[in-house]
Chains A and B, each alone.
Chain A
Amino acid sequence: MANRTPTLREDIPRGNVFQRFYASFESPGRRRALHALIVALLIVTPWISSQYVTVILTNALLYVVLCLGLNVVVGYAGLLDLGYAAFFAVGAYTVGILTQQFGINFWAAIPFALLAAAIAGVIIGGPTLRLRSDYLAIVTLGFGEIVRFTARNLEITGGASGLSHIPEPSLFGWQIDSSIDFYYVFALLAVLAYIASQRLFDSRLGRAWLYVRHDEDAAEAMGINRVATKLAAYVIGAIFGAIGGIFFSVNLGAISPESFSFQQSVLILLAVVLGGMGKIPGVILGAFIVVLGPELLRDFDTLRLLIFAVLLLLIMLFRPSGIWPEKRS
């Protein structure tokens, strides 16, 4: 096949309303003020809204964590992962099994869940990251389905009914059980995921991903270990997903294989693509859109899914780098 030079559509400098708005916060002082405002809003919201709004926002914050994780894989490293829900499942099931079946303390189970996700990332990433990108997409899809089927077939994962009665955690005497408690847990996780994403983006590894994504061969010529760099993205993404899964399982108190289907992976990917691959605020916006959108469109019944699909297609055709694309100076 002929060599084609990658035309990077995302490099076209074009500021939409979001970017211009964001640009007005470029100065450190203003940005700090903005961050403070966001944190204040996150703290206040559950006290001024109904339980329903709190639950939906908790869900949106969960998706923020998941989407920022997938963004590391897809947006930073440019690897299409269609089985991201698998890592979400690994985190949720590890904690579910350890706490509910073996009576291990929730906080003590977390390291095991993270380790399990990292191992899963290495197992699937190790042999496959040398593959062409579309093969990788299909392999991750297959992997996602294998994880779901395995959870459905095993005794220890509770079969198709899944696990229920996953105990709620407590922290220094604070029993985390109401919807507001969980809202704050997820708000904290989302903020941490945001900070971690930002740090990764600015790090040496972040620049290595950029090179690998734009030109693998040139990156390798410059001494970047291609496979190790990709693998790092994969494992970090897996850990983000597992963190989401860990708290998802204790929040719902029950998990079943249906929550980790291919549709779930697609939804997370959709959020990342909608918002703009690689751009943190864009991805967060995407996460809010995919969670709040269907709730606001409830009256459209099945049409809402079609609306989402058409939206995704239009975005790919006319704005392939998302509503709020990455722009790296």
Chain B
Amino acid sequence: MTWYDSFLQQLVDGLVLGSFYALVALGYTMVFGVIKLLNFAHGDLYMTGAFAGFGGLSLVSGFLGAGWLGIFVAMLLAMLAVGCLGVVIERVAYHPMLAAPRLSILITALAVSLVLQNAALSLTGGQYTAFRTDLGFGGFNLGNLFLSYNQIVLVATAAVLMIALELFVSRTLYGRAMRAVSIDKDMCRMMGINVSAVIAVTFFIGSGLAAAAGTMAGAYYGSIWYFMGFLIGLKAFTAAVIGGIGSITGAMLGGLILGLLESFGTHIPFIGSEWKDVFTFSILILVLVFKPTGLLGKSEVERM
């Protein structure tokens, strides 16, 4: 491969990886926007989504097959199920804590994350579950550049979901309410906005997007396990922070940037792939310390 081909290949791969990060990052950023909570359990909702998608696929594969159609239906089922789970989590665990000190709600979020993880651990015995599909390895070559059909479908699905979200937030009534709530909850209450309902919708959408990403990841990579949400949760958070937490466009942008950084980061000379995650976490820390508002976030002075 020439230098140029290799560059293009990295670019494509970075975009694929970045669209996963972006989908998960959206959930972080939306929840953060409305209740200013760093939802530690979000990565685990991605994991739960992958298992829900796996369950969904075994339900529908009988009559729809395990190709893209079956996976797509399974993905919708997983989004619905995990979306509801997200709402339940918000009602049961976070809602009662909104007035408590921030430390308490953060630890609660951590506890929810541990419950989801360990529930999956107990159910699967810690084993990897093979996510079997009928997707082939097919694709086509553009010169030396290889693009698989799976990659194209994946990026397209992610793009459609993100555009739909953007339209929802900018054009619909609920979307506007969501933005209003993220600015000032008390004022919204006075204006007659049902703040609780808006928060619930936000959790539903955020969790649903994580489930979509989880199902697609399961189908694309071919295996799922209880701990798969941890690393991607951290990285998606990094993406959300790079883009500016609270900003939806920022999350998408941050996801893509992180995907590209990781893809090219592996090729930095003299720094082996063993340092890849050190590299990612260092970016996270540097951004938080020097530009906590990220690329597109609004500055906000707050002290706990």
**Distance in Å: Cβ of B33 to nearest Cβ of chain A:** 11
**8 shortest interchain CB distances as A-B pairs:** A309-B114, A142-B281, A134-B38, A313-B111, A306-B118, A312-B111, A316-B108, A309-B115
Are the CB atoms of A132 and B284 closer together than 8 Å?
A: no
CA distance A316 to B230 in the complex (A): 22
Are the CB atoms of A138 and B288 closer together than 8 Å?
A: yes
Q: Which residues of A, 1-59, contact B by the 8 Å Cβ criterion? A: 1-2, 4, 6-9
A74, A80, A134, A153 interface centre (most CB from chain B within 10 Å): A134
Q: Interface readout for B35-57 with A: 1 if CB under 8 Å, 0 if not? A: 01110000000000000000000
**Distance in Å: Cβ of B69 to nearest Cβ of chain A:** 36
Query: Looking at the complex, which one of B93, B103, B184, B284 makes contact with A317 (CB distance below 8 Å)?
Result: B93
CA distance A217 to B302 in the complex (A): 11
Q: With A7-B99, A141-B234 given, is the CB distance from A309 to B118 under 8 Å?
A: yes
For A149, what are the chain B residues with a Cβ–Cβ distance below 8 Å? 274-275, 277-278
CA distance A1 to B275 in the complex (A): 39
How extensive is the interface on chain B, given as a class? 35 or more
Q: Which residues of A contact B (CB under 8 A)?
A: 1-2, 4, 6-9, 74, 78, 80, 82, 127-128, 131-135, 137-139, 141-143, 145-146, 149-150, 152-153, 216-217, 262, 266, 269, 273, 277, 302-303, 305-306, 308-310, 312-313, 316-317, 320
Query: Looking at the complex, which one of B115, B237, B302 makes contact with A313 (CB distance below 8 Å)?
Result: B115
Q: Interface readout for B110-153 with A: 1 if CB under 8 Å, 0 if not? A: 11101101110110011000000000000000000000000000
Q: With A139-B288, A149-B278, A316-B107 given, is the CB distance from A6 to B101 under 8 Å?
A: yes
Q: Which residues of B contact A (CB under 8 A)?
A: 36-38, 92-93, 96-97, 99-104, 106-108, 110-112, 114-115, 117-119, 121-122, 125-126, 184-186, 230, 234, 237, 241, 272, 274-275, 277-278, 281-282, 284-285, 288-289, 292, 300, 302-304
Are the CB atoms of A4 and B99 closer together than 8 Å?
A: yes
B92, B282, B285, B292 interface centre (most CB from chain A within 10 Å): B285
CA distance A6 to B101 in the complex (A): 6
Are the CB atoms of A153 and B36 closer together than 8 Å?
A: no
For B119, what are the chain A residues with a Cβ–Cβ distance below 8 Å? 306, 309
Nearest CB in chain A to that of B183: its residue: A1
Nearest CB in chain A to that of B283: its residue: A142
Query: Looking at the complex, which one of B92, B114, B282 makes contact with A312 (CB distance below 8 Å)?
Result: B114
Query: Looking at the complex, which one of B93, B111, B184, B284 makes contact with A309 (CB distance below 8 Å)?
Result: B111
Nearest CB in chain A to that of B113: its residue: A309
Nearest CB in chain B to that of A150: its residue: B278
CA distance A27 to B168 in the complex (A): 65
Are the CB atoms of B304 and A133 closer together than 8 Å?
A: yes
Are the CB atoms of B112 and A135 closer together than 8 Å?
A: no
Are the CB atoms of A306 and B289 closer together than 8 Å?
A: no
Are the CB atoms of A9 and B289 closer together than 8 Å?
A: no
Are the CB atoms of B104 and A320 closer together than 8 Å?
A: yes
Query: Looking at the complex, which one of A1, A127, A152 makes contact with B184 (CB distance below 8 Å)?
Result: A1
**Distance in Å: Cβ of B273 to nearest Cβ of chain A:** 10
For B121, what are the chain A residues with a Cβ–Cβ distance below 8 Å? 302, 305-306
Some 18 contacts from A to B, beta carbons below 8 A apart, are A2-B184, A7-B99, A7-B100, A78-B103, A80-B107, A131-B288, A133-B102, A139-B284, A139-B289, A141-B234, A142-B234, A143-B285, A145-B277, A146-B278, A146-B282, A305-B121, A312-B107, A313-B114
Query: Looking at the complex, which one of B37, B104, B274 makes contact with A316 (CB distance below 8 Å)?
Result: B104
**Distance in Å: Cβ of B237 to nearest Cβ of chain A:** 6
CA distance A197 to B119 in the complex (A): 36
For A150, what are the chain B residues with a Cβ–Cβ distance below 8 Å? 278
CA distance A273 to B119 in the complex (A): 21
Are the CB atoms of A1 and B302 closer together than 8 Å?
A: yes
Nearest CB in chain A to that of B284: its residue: A142
For B37, what are the chain A residues with a Cβ–Cβ distance below 8 Å? 134
Nearest CB in chain B to that of A313: its residue: B111
A6, A8, A269 interface centre (most CB from chain B within 10 Å): A6
CA distance A80 to B304 in the complex (A): 12
Are the CB atoms of A134 and B102 closer together than 8 Å?
A: yes
Q: With A132-B302, A302-B121 given, is the CB distance from A80 to B106 under 8 Å?
A: yes
